[in-house]
Structures are given as structure tokens and as C-alpha cells.
Amino acid sequence: MKVWRCVKQCGACCHLDPTDRPELEEYLSAAEFDRYMSMVGEDGWCINFDRQTRECSIYEQRPRFCRVQSDVFTEMYAVSPQDFNDFAIDCCHQQITGVYGDLSPEMSRYNEGITSSESG
């Protein structure tokens, strides 16, 4: 079984272009929506994404909608804890494909990362 994990220095989830997420207002509160929109740079990337290091500059203080955690996904998307792993893997695959492409080095690293998390 593949186990979801974040693969460092990918940053695909930091591409926040709201035109790619027309349903934002359905799962974000009004305050979260305003915060989300304030984080979107002119090019669609999060203003807190450091392109040199490919890491979040506010990681420890990042908002709830940036956290890939079972409890957050249950609250925001009604994803059960049992479905979290597969749902998160699918979300990452979709986002990485949309941002970098299905055959990108980022996708290869992600697939290797979740494969190396397999148990027994």
C-alpha cells in the first residue's frame, strides 16, 4: 500500500491560481478565502513560496487550508480518516500534473517518495 507523504521541495501545492480552483468558496470560510486570495501572487504562486529553496517561508504558521492532515481534510472536504491517504495521494498527483506535468521530475520524485513509504 502506498502511503501519502509530502515530498520536500516540490511546491506544486503552492501554485494557488484561483482559476484552477473555482470551488474555493465552497470549502473556505470568508476569512480563509480572503487570506487565500491575499497569498496569491500575480503569477498564481503563493507569495510565501521561496523559489530558490522551493519551500514555504511560513511553514510553521501556514493556514489550515495549506495543511495536508486527516483532521483538516475531514473538516474541509468531508474526507473520512480511512479515505485520507488515497485522497491525499490523488490530490498530489492532480496538482503535480497540473503544475509540472505527468512526466516531470517532480512527479517522479513524488511517486518514488510514496513508494518508499510502502510497508511490508
Domain count, the chain: 1
> Is 6 inside a domain boundary?
no
Q: Is residue 53 part of a domain?
A: yes
pLDDT tens sequence across 58-112: 999 999 999 999 999 999 999 999 999 999 999 999 999 999 999 999 999 999 9
45 within a domain of the structure (yes/no): yes
pLDDT for the residue numbered 120: 44
Distance between CA atoms of residues 43 and 55, nearest Å: 17
Q: Give the 3-state DSSP-derived string for 78-105, with helices as H, strands as E and coil as C.
A: CCCHHHHHHHHHHHHHHHHHHHCCCCCH
In a domain, 5, yes or no: no
7 belongs to a structural domain? no
pLDDT attached to residue 1: 82
Mean pLDDT of the chain: 93
pTM metric for this prediction: 0.89
